[in-house]
Amino acid sequence: MFAATIYLAGLPTVYTVLAAGSDPNGGVAAAWRKPAFQLFAVWSVCALVLGGVAFLKDSQLQSLLAVVRSRAPTLVGNRRREAVVRAITLLLDNGREAQLLQRFSPRVFIAAPSEHPTELVPFLSADIRPWQHWPVGVGAIGVTFEANNDDPLVFRRQELAKLNRSLTGEQLEHYNKVTMVAAIVIRDEGNQPLGVLSVSSEEHAPRFGKSRLQALKLLASGLGVFLELMV
């Protein structure tokens, strides 16, 4: 762009000067030769200034495009995450299977992206507290992820009492009233575990039969489709 500006601005100037000085007899052309060279000098300076400005603008544009390209994956990733969050929220609130599980407070926990995840955290919580972290093998959530079964695991009072021995004080404070937890591993299309879908109850003797177990399994399958988009 810089070279093109000089070419476009300078070519008419050179042509004018050469044309003005082409009379071999030193007539009218000779009389105008000095002003023509002054005009050529002014025109050249203007060409250089315009070329420099154009070069700077082009450099700024290229820098801006480079910044946009570097941020594009992040922007796309953020939009994808927002879309997945909205889809999962709708699925948990309005899905047919979710309707059977609403009274049991469905929750989604995801594992940190790693070949060997060490803990799971709530997916839809804006402010995740330390007591909401579940190390693999700890609590109903961690045990379910570690077992990696295809079918849901159901933990009732006796099983939960045993699992509570490994919980922190804060976790016991928040979960000691839970009387039943049913949980299943969420998987991607390659059958790799992504997290855990759980439901729980504080009722004295909650009924969680085959229909709800099947709903839990189907809901986990649907969640796997959406969560895989974020990996």
Beta strands 107-111 and 193-201: pairing type? antiparallel
Find the angle CA(32)-CA(33)-CA(35) to the nearest 5 degrees: 70
pLDDT digits (tens, 9 = 90+) for 141-198: 999 999 999 999 999 999 999 999 999 999 999 999 999 999 999 999 899 999 999 9
Separation between Cα atoms, residue 160 and residue 116, nearest integer Å: 25
Q: What percent of the chain has pLDDT over 90?
A: 41
pLDDT at 16: 52
Mean pLDDT of the chain: 77
The CA-based diameter of the chain, rounded to the nearest angstrom, is: 118
CB 133 within 8 A of CB 170: no
pLDDT at 53: 59
18 CB neighbour count, 10 Å cutoff: 11
pLDDT digits (tens, 9 = 90+) for 5-56: 555 555 555 545 545 444 555 555 554 455 555 665 666 666 666 665 555 5
Tokens coding 28: 């009218």
Residues 6+ apart with CB under 8 A from 103: 201
pLDDT at 32: 47
Residues 6+ apart with CB under 8 A from 21: 29, 30, 33, 36
CB 206 within 8 A of CB 180: yes
Report domain extents, the chain: 2-74, 95-228
CB 146 within 8 A of CB 119: no
- The amino acid sitting at 26 is G
105: left (phi over 0), alpha (psi -120 to 50) or beta: left
- Looking at CATH, the fold of the domain delimited by 95-228 is given as Beta-Lactamase (3.30.450)
CB 197 within 8 A of CB 177: no
Q: Residues 95-108: what's their mean pLDDT?
A: 86
pLDDT at 62: 57
Residue 201: pLDDT above 50?
A: yes
- At residue 195, what are phi and psi to the nearest 5 degrees? 175, -155
- At residue 168, what are phi and psi to the nearest 5 degrees? -80, 170
Q: Which of 22-36, 117-131, 205-219 has the lowest mean pLDDT?
A: 22-36
139 CB neighbour count, 10 Å cutoff: 24
Strands laid side by side in the 119-122 sheet: 134-135, 119-122, 107-111, 193-201, 180-187, 153-155
pTM for the structure as a whole: 0.65
Tokens coding 9: 């601005």
Q: Residues 58-82: what's their mean pLDDT?
A: 54
